[in-house]
Structure 1
C-alpha cells in the first residue's frame, strides 16, 4: 500500500536542485523584461517624443521605482499568507501588456504607464523568486543562493540591453527591441504556471526547527510579529536590517541614475547606439557575473565587510565616470561600478535572510525591497534635478557622495549576521 503521508520538505541546494534551477531561469526572464528597454527608452524620449529636460525624461524610471517598491510589500505579505506561486503567476500577468504599450505608445505617458505595470511585474516576480530560493536552500547557503538568483536576473538585464541596442541599431527603436519582452513573458508564464512548485512548506519546516541566537540579539524578533512590527524592524529599528535597507536604497539610487542618465551622458561623446548599449551592458554584466562569486564569498567571510567595501567601491566608480569623457574611461567606471554592486546585492538579501524569522521572512524581504527599490525613484529625481541645474557630470558626483555616506553608515551600524557554526549541513 503506498505511503499517503506528506513528505517532509528537504532544505538544501542539492536536495532542491531542479526547482532551484528552474527559479533561476524564471528570474533571468524577470531581469530581461527590464533589459529590453534600458538602452532604448532614453533615446526614444529624445528622437520620437522630443523630450529634452532630464527630470521629465526620468519620469519613467521614477514611476517604475515607486510602483515596484509598493509591489514588493504586497509580494512579501501575500506570499506569506497565500503562498509563493500564486503571487509569481499574478506578477507575470501584469507583464503581458508592457511590450505592446512600448511598441504602440503615441506619447510619453504611455511609456510611463507601461513602466507602472512593469514595476508591478518586477516587484511581485523578483521578490517572490528571492523568497522561494531562500525557502529551498535553508540557512547554510543563503549567500550562494542569492548570488545565483541576482546573477541570473542582472546577467539577463545586461544581455538583453545589449541585444536591444543591437536590434535598435539594425531595425530602429521600435518595435524590434520590445519583441524580446513578448517572448520572455510567454515563456515565463509557461514555466511558472506548469513547472514551478510551491515552497512555503519549506519555510514552515525551517521555522519548526528555528534556533535563536545564543547572544540573545534577536530575542525580540520572534515568530509572532505583526506586519507593522516587521516593517518597523526591517526599515528603521533593527540595526542590521535597517542598515541593509538604506544601503539597498542607495545601491538602486545608483542604478536608477544610471538607467536614465548614463545613455544621455554617453551620447555627449557622439557614441553610436551600439557603443552606448555595450557601455550600459558592462555595468549589469559585471554585476551579474560577479555575484556568482560574491554571494558564496559572503557565506565564507561574512556579510558586513563585503557590504561596506562594495558601497565604497561604487563611490569610487561613480567618481571615475564623472571624470570620464570617452568610451575607455566610462568603460572602466562601469566595470568598477558593477564590481561594487556585485559585492553588495546578494549579500544584503542574505543579511535579511539571516536575521528574519522564517515565519515572516517573506514580509521582511518585501520591506527591504520596498526601501531598496525606492532608490530607483530617488535616483531618477535626484539625477534629473541635479542634471538640469548643474549638468550630467554633477549628478554623477552627487551619487558618489551619497554612496560614500552609505558605506560609512554600514560600517558604523551593521553587525555581522552570518553564523557559519550554526549552519545546517550542506546539501
Structure 2
C-alpha cells in the first residue's frame, strides 16, 4: 500500500509539472505577443526552444546531484518551487521592467532549468519504487499524458481570460507539486561503493555521457525517447500554428485538437505499461516506431478538421504504446545507484527531441510551408526508427528479463 500511495503522489507531481508546461502551448503566439515579441512563428519557436535547451543542460546536473546525495525528494521540492518562481517572474517582470524579448528568454531559461529538476527526479523516484518497471513507468506515462491532455484544452480556455493567465496558473500548479513532494519518502539507494569508485566531481552532462559510455545499450531507449518527444515538440509549435492558420481555429479549438492526441496518449499509458511487463519491451517499441512517422504525415495531409482529428487520435494511441515501454527500458538497463543520471540522460534526449521538433519543424514550416514540415517530421521519425530497430533487436533478451518472451 505504501508503494501504491507513493506512486500516486509521484504521478501527481509529474502531472502538475506537465500540466503547467502544456497550458502555455495552445496560445503561445498570444503569449509571446503579451510579453513583448513582435513576430509570431519565430518568437514562439524561441520561447518554446529555450526552455528545452535548459532542460538538456540541467537534467544531468539534477540527476547526478541526486545520485551523489542519495536523496531526491528535497531536490524535487526545490525544482518545483524554483519553477513556480520562474513562471510568476515571466508573468510579472516583462511588463514591470520593460524587458526586451531577449530578457524574457533568459527568464524562460531559468524557469526551465529549475522545472526539469522536479520533472526528472520525480520520474526517477518512480523508478526507485517496487512493483515492476512497466507499472511504475506506466504511472509516469499516464501522468504525463493526462497533464498534456488536460493542459491543451484548459490552456486554450485560460488564454480567453488573458494572454498571461496561463503563466499564473502554471506557477500555482508547481507550488502544489512542491507541497505534494514534501510528503513523499525517499527510496533512493544511498551513495555507495559504485559511486565512490566513480568518485569524481563530474558535472551533470559529463556524468550522463560517462553513464552512456559505460552502458551504451542505454542509447537505444534514449533514441526512442528522442523520437517520442520530437513529435510532441513538433505539434506544440507547428501543429498549433497549423491548426490555427490552415483551419482558422481559435486557441480554444486548437487546444481541443491537441487534446485529441494527448487524451489517448494519457489514458492508454498505464495499461500499455503493464502490458510491456508481460510481453516485453521489444514489441510495443518496435511496432509503435514503425507506424509513428506515417501517422504524423497523415495529420499533415488531412483535408478537413474531422480527418485531422482522427489522425491526432491515432498518433496518440501509437505514442501511448511506445512511451511507457521506452521509459521502463531505461529502468531495466540502468544500475540502482545510477538511476538518477540514467533517467536524466533519457529526459535530456527527450528534451533534445522536443527542441529539434520545435526548431526543425518551425524552420521548415517558415521556409517551405506546413506540408513540407509534416513530411520532414514524418520522414525523420521513420528514418531514425529504421536505423535504430536493428540495433534494438540485437539486445540479448537473456540479459534483460523485462524483455519477456
In the superposition, the TM-score normalised over structure 2's length comes to: 0.87
Q: Name 1:380's counterpart in structure 2.
A: 358
Which residue of 59, 65, 74 corresponds with 2:46? Answer: 59
Q: Name 2:25's counterpart in structure 1.
A: 38
How much does 1:391 deviate? 0.7
2 CA distance for matches of 1:19 and 1:84?
13
- Structure 2 contact 152–255 (Cα < 8 Å) conserved: yes
Q: Name 1:255's counterpart in structure 2.
A: 232
How much does 1:406 deviate? 2.1
2 CA distance for matches of 1:115 and 1:255?
19
Q: Name 1:118's counterpart in structure 2.
A: 111
How much does 1:33 deviate? 1.4
Q: Name 1:127's counterpart in structure 2.
A: 120
Check 1:271–1:354 CA distance in 2 against 1; reply closer, same or farther (3 A cut): same
**Secondary structure at 2:163 match in 1:** coil
How much does 1:370 deviate? 1.4
- Mean CA deviation greater in 77-86 or 321-330: 321-330
How much does 1:230 deviate? 6.1
Which residue of 373, 379, 397 corresponds with 1:401? Answer: 379
How much does 1:278 deviate? 0.2
Residue correspondence of structure 1 range 161-180 to structure 2 within 5 A: 161-169=152-160, 171-175=161-165, 177-180=166-169
CA RMSD of aligned residues (A): 2.8
- Mean CA deviation greater in 224-233 or 275-284: 224-233
Check 1:48–1:326 CA distance in 2 against 1; reply closer, same or farther (3 A cut): farther
Q: Name 2:86's counterpart in structure 1.
A: 98
Check 1:167–1:48 CA distance in 2 against 1; reply closer, same or farther (3 A cut): same
How much does 1:422 deviate? 5.5
Residue correspondence of structure 1 range 25-424 to structure 2 within 5 A: 25-45=12-32, 49=36, 51-52=38-39, 54-82=41-69, 83-104=71-92, 105-106=94-95, 108-109=101-102, 111-137=104-130, 141-169=132-160, 171-175=161-165, 177-193=166-182, 195-201=183-189, 231-232=208-209, 235=212, 238=215, 240-268=217-245, 269-415=247-393
Q: Deviations over 1:319-371 (max 9, x none)?
A: 11110243212212211221222122221111111111112121111122212
Check 1:145–1:238 CA distance in 2 against 1; reply closer, same or farther (3 A cut): same
**Residue 3 of structure 2 is aligned to residue 16 of structure 1:** yes
Whichever structure has more helix as a proportion of its residues is 2
- Structure 1 contact 164–178 (Cα < 8 Å) conserved: no
- Mean CA deviation greater in 102-111 or 237-246: 102-111
Check 1:326–1:108 CA distance in 2 against 1; reply closer, same or farther (3 A cut): farther
How much does 1:186 deviate? 2.5
- Structure 2 contact 32–40 (Cα < 8 Å) conserved: no
Check 1:350–1:182 CA distance in 2 against 1; reply closer, same or farther (3 A cut): same
- Structure 2 contact 7–129 (Cα < 8 Å) conserved: yes
2 CA distance for matches of 1:77 and 1:395?
36
In the superposition, the TM-score normalised over structure 1's length comes to: 0.83
Check 1:114–1:308 CA distance in 2 against 1; reply closer, same or farther (3 A cut): farther
Q: Which runs of 5+ in 2 are unaligned?
A: none
**Secondary structure at 1:58 match in 2:** helix
Q: Which runs of 5+ in 1 are unaligned?
A: 1-13, 209-220
How much does 1:235 deviate? 4.3
Check 1:235–1:386 CA distance in 2 against 1; reply closer, same or farther (3 A cut): farther
Q: Deviations over 1:249-305 (max 9, x none)?
A: 122121111111111100121112221110112222221112112111111111122
**Secondary structure at 2:83 match in 1:** coil
Q: Name 1:9's counterpart in structure 2.
A: none
- Structure 2 contact 288–321 (Cα < 8 Å) conserved: yes
**Which of structures 1 and 2 has the bigger CA Rg?**
1
Check 1:313–1:118 CA distance in 2 against 1; reply closer, same or farther (3 A cut): farther
2 CA distance for matches of 1:122 and 1:340?
27
How much does 1:238 deviate? 4.5
- Structure 2 contact 32–47 (Cα < 8 Å) conserved: no
**Secondary structure at 2:24 match in 1:** helix
- Structure 1 contact 302–418 (Cα < 8 Å) conserved: no
**How many pairs were matched up?**
390
- Structure 2 contact 220–392 (Cα < 8 Å) conserved: yes
